[in-house]
Amino acid sequence: MTVKYKSIRFTPGFACRDEVLGVVNDYLSRQPEPRPFVERDLAGCVFHFHTLDLRLLRRDIETLGERVPVSSSESREAGAILRVIYDEVSKIGSYGVRAGRRQYVDFDVERKVRNRKDKERNRSKYYYARDNDFSPVAHPLPPELTDQIICGDSLEVLKRFPPNSIDLILTSPPYNFGLEYDRQDDAHRWERYFERLFAIFDECIRVLKYGGRIAVNIQPLFSDYIPSHHIISNFFIGRKMIWKGEILWEKNNYNCKYTAWGSWKSPSSPYLKYTWEFIEVFAKGSLKKSGSPENADITADEFKKWVVAKWNIAPERNMKKYGHPAMFPEELAVRVIKLFSFVGDVVLDPFNGAGTTTAVARKLGRRFVGIDVSQEYCDTARERGWSAWHDKVIGLESPLERLSKTTDEKATSP
């Protein structure tokens, strides 16, 4: 049976002499079957490989001088070639891992489904969102609403926004846990809580652009047996939004391990505990968002790491400093904003709190708008966003100038 190889062509910066390639191939013969090898071609060298033990390759590079005398030019050139090979294969992002070795050829054969496209068509992807009547026509956000922190009830404030004017909404609503917020009671009957919340989410859907995304950070109240992340997701699905995915935010909050067992050591009613929260992501009308590639600021490494939807991020440590009881950390906002929006997009947080979303959006060169019922949190958000970026932005008003313009609406909360 012929072995399939993957090949990389490279020029080491010197002629590939047969004696040197001999030393390199000698080292490569220690690699797993089917053995990789190098050969010369007209342009330089070609490396053919199938499965590699990269740790062995690195060790061979490090100990090369011990086996072949360092003084020999063959050994130096062989070492240089092995290093180029190592650097080039390390850049390859798609491979399978078997017994600690990387397999670069046919590693996904088992997962291949024949006639995948036909089967997908037959199943009808996101059927629940198909017959929506979302308009693809975008509207600009007026300047008086752009780069603003607005104090008021989102239900009222959002009515002033034109439809289809926001690219990304990132938010975490009050969880109804009974937290001590500045302006809002956080322990309503669940039916009333969801009714008020969904009225605000309806406005959010209206103001999102076609292809825009909403990412909602949710912590269910497990002790009330209310699966808020499912109830909220069900709401968006019912509104014909496409479920783009769910991110599991692992906070590694092991404090919870030591409290509340339910029925201790008995199956009668054990209490399940969680060290994580959820981020449910929905798209309006299309999974694809328009934007020019030069406005994508996520790096290859960030992209590879963040599309794996389990994020290990420690909880926010500065809640006391900002005077807010339920903030998410900046790192979470950085990831959501870079993964789901382009530089220059408009990012909205209708429950902006101490302004994590807006401060990060500003730092990352997005336009932003944050809304919160509490004047105190809005002041913090303004101050925070301003100090985060004021030296990079020319021509922005100071928070104090803005303060005089804001509407301080009497508000009720969900």
Ligand X SMILES: C[S@@+](CC[C@H](N)C(=O)[O-])C[C@H]1O[C@@H](n2cnc3c(N)ncnc32)[C@H](O)[C@@H]1O
Residues lying near ligand X in the complex (CB under 6 A) are found at 153-155, 172, 174, 181, 183-184, 324, 326-328, 351, 353-354, 356, 371-374, 377, 411, 413-414
The smaller minimum CB distance to ligand X, of residues 160 and 257, is found at 160
Q: How far is the CB of 241 from ligand X (least distance, A)?
A: 21
- Give the start-end residues of each E strand in 237-385: 242-250, 276-283, 310-312, 346-349, 367-372
Q: How far is the CB of 389 from ligand X (least distance, A)?
A: 17
Q: How far is the CB of 292 from ligand X (least distance, A)?
A: 29
What DSSP string runs through 1-70? -PPP-EEEEE--SS---HHHHHHHHHHHTTSPSSPPEEEEETTEEEEEESEE-HHHHHHHHHHHHHHS-T
Q: Which residues contact 266 (CB under 8 A, 6 or more apart)?
A: none
C-alpha span between 346 and 341 (Å, rounded):
8
The smaller minimum CB distance to ligand X, of residues 298 and 411, is found at 411
Q: How far is the CB of 314 from ligand X (least distance, A)?
A: 14
- Asked if omega into 34 is within 30° of 0 (cis), the reply is yes
The smaller minimum CB distance to ligand X, of residues 164 and 172, is found at 172
Count, residues in the chain = 414
Chain-centre distance for alpha carbon 106: 28
The smaller minimum CB distance to ligand X, of residues 102 and 366, is found at 366
Q: What are phi and psi of 283, to 5 degrees?
A: -120, 145
Q: What are phi and psi of 250, to 5 degrees?
A: -85, 115
Q: How far is the CB of 187 from ligand X (least distance, A)?
A: 13
The smaller minimum CB distance to ligand X, of residues 242 and 354, is found at 354
The smaller minimum CB distance to ligand X, of residues 134 and 351, is found at 351
269, 270, 274, 277: CA torsion to nearest 10: -10
C-alpha span between 10 and 46 (Å, rounded):
6
| H or E stretch covering 194 | helix 190-207
The smaller minimum CB distance to ligand X, of residues 64 and 145, is found at 145
Return the residue nearest ligand X (CB atom): 353
Q: How far is the CB of 377 from ligand X (least distance, A)?
A: 5
Q: How far is the CB of 404 from ligand X (least distance, A)?
A: 21
